[in-house]
């Protein structure tokens, strides 16, 4: 099980027209917002990336306002882990459990998951908060991440895993987020 004390949320490339081309984008954005808000309630560090923002644009307005306090990292590698600034920031956090959300499932999210697992991290991918331009590529990306050892979860599932009990003082805030 993931714990608040050992987890990091990584928000991958919710940018410009690419984000708007995602399959089932409304659900994708809503679930990403839930996880980001939940991570903030739990005081879990958030690293967010932007893939070549000069070409793809910046983080979209459906996600950007929720990233207050997050470290935003511009990259050109598909795998976040292969970006020197990202890997430096993640290593400095000294946490070994990573929750991944973002786009595209079969490219940047997959390559990040594979590299993190190879580097000794425990990875969970929130399947309802990742997407690709086509449902087929999304499905293949999720399958591939699972086959290399990533846990597949959902926005609500990971939030309740981190909450663990309705008696937690933060429970009311989480219930408000998921309703």
How large is the average pLDDT for residues 30-53? 97
Distance from C-alpha of 100 to C-alpha of 112, rounded to nearest angstrom: 9
Active site residues: 13, 75, 108
Q: Is 147 left (phi over 0), alpha (psi -120 to 50) or beta?
A: alpha
pLDDT score for 89: 98
Length of the chain: 179
Residue at token pair 């990742």? 130
Q: What is the pLDDT of residues 45-65, one digit of tens each?
A: 999 999 999 999 999 999 999
**Three-state secondary structure call for residue 149:** coil
* Superfamily grouping for domain 4-178: Isochorismatase-like (3.40.50.850)
Of all residues in the chain, the percent with pLDDT exceeding 70 is: 100
């Amino acid at each position: 099980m993931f714990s608040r004390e050992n987890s990091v949320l990584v928000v991958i490339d919710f940018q410009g027209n690419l984000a708007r081309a995602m399959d089932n984008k409304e659900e994708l954005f809503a679930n990403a917002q839930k996880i980001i808000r939940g991570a903030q309630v739990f005081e879990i560090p958030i690293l967010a990336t932007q893939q070549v923002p000069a070409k793809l644009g910046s983080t979209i307005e459906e996600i950007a306002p929720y990233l207050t306090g997050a470290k935003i990292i511009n990259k050109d590698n598909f795998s976040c882990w292969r970006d020197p600034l990202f890997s430096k920031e993640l290593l400095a956090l000294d946490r070994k459990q990573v929750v991944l959300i973002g786009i595209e499932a079969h490219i940047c999210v997959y390559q990040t998951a594979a590299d993190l697992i190879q580097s000794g991290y425990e990875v969970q991918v929130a399947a309802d908060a990742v997407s690709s331009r086509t449902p087929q590529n999304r499905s293949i990306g999720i399958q591939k991440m699972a086959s290399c050892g990533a846990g597949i979860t959902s926005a609500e599932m990971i939030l309740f895993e981190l909450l663990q009990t309705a008696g937690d003082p933060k429970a009311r805030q989480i219930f408000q987020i998921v309703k």
